Amino acid sequence: MNINKDRSTSGKSPLPKIRISIIGLLLLCWASQVWGSNSNRQVLVRDITSVEGVRDNMLVGYGLVVGLNRTGDTQQTYFTVQTLANAMQRMGVLFAPGAVTVKNVAAVFITATLPPFARPGAKLDVTVSSVGDAKSLAGGVLLMSSLHGPDGQVYAEAQGPLVMGGYTVGNGTNGKEVNSATVGIVPNGGMVERGVAVDLKDFRSVSLLLRNPDFTTAKKIADVVNQTYHKSVAWAMDNSRVDINVADAGEISVPELISRVQNLSLEVHTPAKIIVNERSGTIVLGGDVKLTPVSVIHGNLSIQVVTSFDLAVIPTRSPDPRGYRDDRLTPVAVPQTNLTVNDAPAQTMRLDEGANVEELVNGLHAIGTTARDVVSILQAIKAEGGLQADLEVQ
């Protein structure tokens, strides 16, 4: 149920990038061997679809973490003291917010995910994140706080000690920080107070939503469902939705229908797509990527100008009032300019009709390309129309 509807001018690439590039290219070779012969794969319907109306819901709340070892919010974070004053007032203790100074309290936001069919009393993991300028939440305890849905209603309460995945030691000039010391979790710290169960008895049709929209896959899902029930009970509405008529299926209940459909197996075609991460040199491809005839010419031109100063001794003469000339030796810095041009021979690679990614990778590796070169070459081949796949550069 929904709660609310340089390369450097010398042309040399750093060694780590070269290593990463080689690893990425090896992954490409392996993947192309796996998928080269057949890019289709058998999957279950449950792995590629979800049921419309059955979904998680986001919860958020605000609260206080207490018990910190002088690592909480400072006096400049006024709302922390104000929140503390309000909490103490509910317990019968009154004081002016500006009259106290505390360093063991931190204001936090609390987030959690409410799963579908959650019932009152079910436990949730909650994530606690600092709002103010606290240095660390290590050792803190979250006070009872309400978690609200997008509609403003309270769906859960959270409380408990924090479990940290990081820490901070030392001070600003001589210290160390591992992961984040201002974000922690409270395992099973949330308790559901309001259920969001979906009444499946009211479903006249079950709609399956494809995680990766595709007309062919949607039609195949409808076909395998109809073959299972030996009649037309499912229809592909578009590239991301398949509807199944509950009455025509004749199952005992909607959960029985969903369970049976989700465990059906079908053949799914992996789309031809290449994803390149230029920063890490990682290359991932899907499907049987083909190329049209294309030639790649790769070469490096490096021009380096270096100016150095050599110390030279130059004789100088200065006039003497008595009519004599005084010869002296004076040191002078003389600039020396050296020009170096390195033009590496162009490397050529030729791919014929029907070439696959394995041949492309082997060719790029043979001409000594780096991770950045691979990205540029793939983009150029895609722009020329020689790459029969989607190219995504991250």
Task: Identify the residue whose tokens are 């197996």.
Answer: 265
The enclosing domain of 248 has a CATH number of 3.90.1150
Domain residue limits at 336:
301-343
Would you place residue 184 in the very low, low, confident or very high pLDDT band (cuts 50, 70, 90)? very high
What is the Cα–Cα distance from 22 to 143, expressed in whole angstroms?
52
Give the list of residues 6+ apart from residue 74 with CB closer than 8 angstroms, or none.
103, 132, 133
Q: Do 282 and 369 have their domain in common? A: yes
pLDDT tens profile 261-292: 999 999 888 777 777 776 766 777 766 677 77
Contact 272, 280 (CB under 8 A): no
CA distance 392 to 379: 9
Please tell me whether residues 90 and 160 are part of one structural domain: yes
Residues 61, 187, single domain; the answer is yes
User: Has residue 383 been placed in a domain?
Assistant: yes
At 143, the pLDDT band (50, 70, 90 cuts) reads very high
In a domain, 46, yes or no: yes
Domain-embedded: residue 354: yes
Q: Which of residues 136, 168, 192 is at a domain's end? A: 192
State the average pLDDT over residues 70-74. Answer: 86
Top pLDDT among 88 and 368 is at: 88
What is the mean predicted confidence (pLDDT) over 349-359? 65
Question: Domain check: are 99 and 148 in the same one?
Answer: yes
The answer as to whether 204 is a domain residue is yes
Residues 83 and 95 in one domain: yes
Q: What is the pLDDT of residue 155?
A: 95
Residue among 393, 391, 378, 364 nearest 18 (CA): 364
Whether residues 69 and 182 share a domain: the answer is yes
Average pLDDT over residues 59-84: 88
Distance of CA 32 to the CA centre of its chain: 24
pLDDT in tens, 290-299: 777 766 666 6
Examine residue 9 and state whether it is found in any structural domain, yes or no.
no
DSSP states of 330-345: EEEEEEEEEEEEEEPP
- 241 in the same domain as 140: no
Same domain, 288 and 349: yes
Burial class, 21, CB count within 10 angstroms (exposed 0-12 / middle 13-18 / buried 19+):
buried
Task: State yes or no: pLDDT of 369 exceeds 80.
Answer: no
In a domain, 8, yes or no: no
Helix ranges, the chain (H): 15-36, 45-48, 78-90, 215-229, 246-249, 254-262, 357-366, 371-384
pLDDT in tens, 228-253: 999 999 999 999 999 999 999 988 88
pLDDT exceeds cutoff 50 at 194: yes
Number of domains in the chain: 4
Domain boundary among 229, 252, 269: 269
Indicate if 135 and 187 belong to the same structural domain: yes
Same domain, 160 and 236: no
List 234's β-bridge partners, or say none. 244
Rounded alpha-carbon distances, angstroms, from residue 271 to 133, 214, 230, 287, 385: 47, 9, 30, 5, 17
More confident residue, 28 or 323: 323
Answer whether residue 38 shows pLDDT above 60.
no
Mean pLDDT of 159-178: 72
Burial (Cβ within 10 Å: 0-12, 13-18, ≥19) of residue 171:
exposed
For residues 178-197, average pLDDT: 87
C-alpha 254/C-alpha 216 separation (Å) is 26
pLDDT of residue 14: 44
The residues near 318 (Cβ < 8 Å, ≥ 6 apart) are 325, 326, 328
Q: Which pLDDT score, from 0 to 100, does residue 393 have?
A: 75
Is 287 found in the same domain as 370? yes
Nearest to 217 by CA among 209, 229, 228, 206: 209
Whole-angstrom CA distances from 2 to 58, 66, 275, 374 are: 10, 34, 34, 45
- Residue 51's φ and ψ, nearest 5 degrees, are -90, 125
The H-assigned helical ranges of 125-281 are 215-229, 246-249, 254-262
Q: Are residues 116 and 177 in the same domain?
A: yes
The reply to whether 81 falls in a domain is: yes
Q: Which pLDDT belongs to residue 73? A: 87
Residue ending a domain, choose from 192, 214, 237: 192
Residue 319: half-sphere exposure toward Cβ, Cα within 13 Å: 2
pTM over 0.85: no
Residue 37 has pLDDT above 70, yes or no: no
The secondary structure of residue 322, as a DSSP letter, is T
The answer to the question of residue 83 being in a domain is: yes
Q: Which amino acid, one-letter code, is at 8? A: S
Q: What is the DSSP code (8-state) at residue 211?
A: S
| Euclidean distance between CA atoms 62 and 146, whole angstroms | 7
